[in-house]
Amino acid sequence: MSNSATAAQTRSAWAIAALLGVVCSCDSGTTGPTGPVDVGPSTGGCPDLGGSMTRLPEGFCIDRTEVTRGAYFAWLDTGPTTDGQPAECAANVDFLPTCATTGGWGLDRYLDNPVGCVDWCDARAYCEAHGKRLCGRVGGGANPMDDYNDAAQSEWFATCSAGGENDYVFGVNYVKDRCYESPESGWGTTGVATHPECVSPDGDYAGVYDLGGNVAEWENSCNGVGADARCRIRGGSFKHTANGLRCDAGSTLSLPRHSTDDAVGFRCCTD
């Protein structure tokens, strides 16, 4: 999300930004109560490219974790082109996170934390580049915004709620700090999969981390096809707590397609 037109230029701008130490709202990252869980390789015949995945009873594969800074930066290192983006992303001239290097975040730091400050188009492009899709409708495509809490329609909601059975990723009832939510101290994201209980108790869905908290996640669910459309944000983040971690939370929560926030990242799905 800057004005460089080519991947090489993007990379240069990114490095310059790192040197300049551009400041935004990102504070230093925090660590979770444990080290990151080794989520292992993909299972169920899901691809490994761009992050470990697992296959769910609904038939699709989903990333086990939010896309990390390390994975995202590695992709940027490949020099992805902004050509070929859909019309609604035509104004997206690079994939640089707007706060990739700010607040003391060097390019080599916090690589296990989820990437934030990416807009919907960045997230879409990353997933597409890895042969996946930004999680949306079961079976592919955009999920209508009104279907945000329909486990038969929303890949993200189906995963979080274990097929519609649970209110929170970790069960029916809220348990404070089961996931990485608005902290009592510190600020910012934490490493993915550092909250081992922030998973579904249902074995069929149990291998997917941080669907509540850490960063909220873009969903391929927008209220229009234009560049100015608003797209859904799912799962709450370190800026949310309590109700905000429900699988169906944020019924009115969305951001403009080209907006970024340090508490918003994404994960990918595929068939």
Partner 1 sequence: MTPLIRTYTLWLLGVSLALTACGERGDGDDVISVQPVAPICDFPAPGPRPEVALPEVTNTGEYTLELERWGVSATGVDPQATTDGLQDALDWAAEQGIGLFRVPAGEYLIGEEGTYNYRAGIVIPSNMVFELDANATIRMDTNDKWNYCVLTVDGGQDVVIRGGHIVGERDTHIYTDGGAHDEGHAICVSGNSERVLIENTELREVTGDGVLIVGSGDAGNSCFDITIRNSEIHHNRRQGVSIVGGVRVLIENNDIHHISGTSPQFGVDVESLSFRSADILITGNRFNQNQGGDLVNTDGTNLWFEDNDCDQTGLAERQSDGPIVHWGKSDQVVRGNTITITVGSSNGQWGLIGYSGDDPDREGRGTRSGNLQPNYFEDNMFIGGGLHMARTGHFVVRNNVIQDGTMLGYNIDCVRIQDNDVTRETETYKFRYVAGESSGNVKNGGPVEFLMADDSPYTNSPPSQW
Q: Based on CB atoms, which residue is closest to partner 1, 194 or 237?
A: 237
Q: Which is nearer to partner 1, 73 or 174 (CB)?
A: 174
Q: How far is the CB of 59 from partner 1 (least distance, A)?
A: 29
What is the binding site for partner 1 (CB under 8 A)?
A: 25, 27, 173-178, 182-187, 216, 233, 236-237, 239-244, 246, 248-253, 255-256, 259, 261, 263-264
| Closer residue to partner 1 (CB): 56 or 264 | 264
Q: Convert 97-128 to b/e letters by CB count within 10 Å (16 or more is b).
A: bbbbbbbebebeebbbbbbbbbbbbbbbbbbb
At closest approach, how far in Å is the CB of 32 from partner 1?
A: 15
Nearer to partner 1, 47 or 164 (CB): 164
Q: Are strands 268-270 and 264-265 parallel, antiparallel or unpaired?
A: unpaired
DSSP state of 144: P
Provide φ and ψ at 71, rounded to 5°: -65, -40
Q: How far is the CB of 122 from partner 1 (least distance, A)?
A: 16
Q: In angstroms, what is the minimal distance from the CB of 233 to partner 1?
A: 6
**In this complex, which beta carbon is closest to partner 1, that of residue 1 or of residue 39?**
1
DSSP secondary structure letter of residue 85:
-
Q: Report the nearest approach of partner 1 to the CB of residue 264 (Å).
A: 7
Select from 47, 46, 51 the least CA-distant residue to 63.
51
Write a three-state SS string for 152-177. CCEHHHHHHCCCCCCCECCECCCCCC
Q: Which two tokens stand for residue 243?
A: 């109700």
